[in-house]
Amino acid sequence: MGSAERALILARQYAEREAAKPLEQRRQEYREKRGPAWQESEEGKLCLEFYRAYTAYRDYLKQHGRHWREGNENELDFTEHQAYASLAKEIGEYERQREEIDRRNLERAQLAARCTHRRLNGQTCGSPKMRGSKFCYAHKRLNAARNEELELPPLEDANSLVLGLTKGLQALMKGKMDLKFAGMYFYGLQIVASVMSRVNFGEVEGG
């Protein structure tokens, strides 16, 4: 497989992972990743200053009358207020469109095929599954990791026992074994440790 093909596969996998995330999660991750740098930029500072002024004026109008809005026999608006009114209308329309898009995305997500991983409580995962798989991204990785062999050194002394313990802890932290298997694994190491002092692996005593 060439580097271009690998890049395409990685790009598709990344897109599938992102698509499987809830919309609010993606937005939150984007803000956490890009927000601080944007807020410190000139663009960000100006935008935030503008937004604060916009929301302050909007809230003021909700609470106070507009006694200045009269002239001759017709109500008049200052140019600056007309700009605000036009912007408020555009923002309202944008929010309605965004709500409609979010609603459609949610409907598509609800109709999408679901991950078939069964949890310990008997319930299935229910997250959108990845293309060509029975599982979502998280459980596909978890199941793949669990299928990897956990190679142990011969447990013949304290050093090898500590190495086996370390390997088991690493596998548990990386999701390569579930809690049930981990319990049996570490219990087995405990048994080995309890009998290790009585085992000589064929050495002849007093020889």
Q: What is the pLDDT of residues 27-63, one digit of tens each?
A: 788 888 888 999 999 999 999 999 999 999 989 888 8
Q: Could you give the C-alpha distances from 76 to 73, 87, 174, in angstroms and in order?
A: 9, 18, 67
Residue 114 near residue 127, CB atoms below 8 Å: yes
Q: How many residues does the chain have?
A: 207
Position 23 pLDDT exceeds 50:
yes
Distance CA 197, CA 200 (A): 8
pTM: 0.39
pLDDT at position 184: 85
The DSSP output letter for 71 is B
Distance CA 193, CA 184 (A): 14
Q: Could you give the C-alpha distances from 130 to 102, 133, 146, 179, 190, in angstroms and in order?
A: 21, 5, 18, 25, 40
Distance CA 40, CA 54 (A): 20
The position carrying tokens 């090898």 is: 160
Based on the number of CB atoms within 10 Å of its own CB, is 61 exposed (0-12), middle (13-18) or buried (19 or more)? middle
Residue 126 near residue 138, CB atoms below 8 Å: no
Of residues 190 and 197, the one with the higher pLDDT is 190
Report residue 111's pLDDT band, with 50, 70 and 90 as the boundaries. low
**Tokens found for residue 34:** 């890009």
Residue 165 near residue 189, CB atoms below 8 Å: yes
Q: At what angle do helices 23-40 and 42-63 cross, to 10 degrees?
A: 110
The position carrying tokens 């992972």 is: 17
Quick one: what percent of the chain has pLDDT higher than 70?
68
Of residues 39 and 144, the one with the higher pLDDT is 39
Per-chain mean pLDDT for the chain: 76
Position 207 pLDDT exceeds 50:
no
pLDDT at position 53: 93
**Tokens found for residue 143:** 């199941």
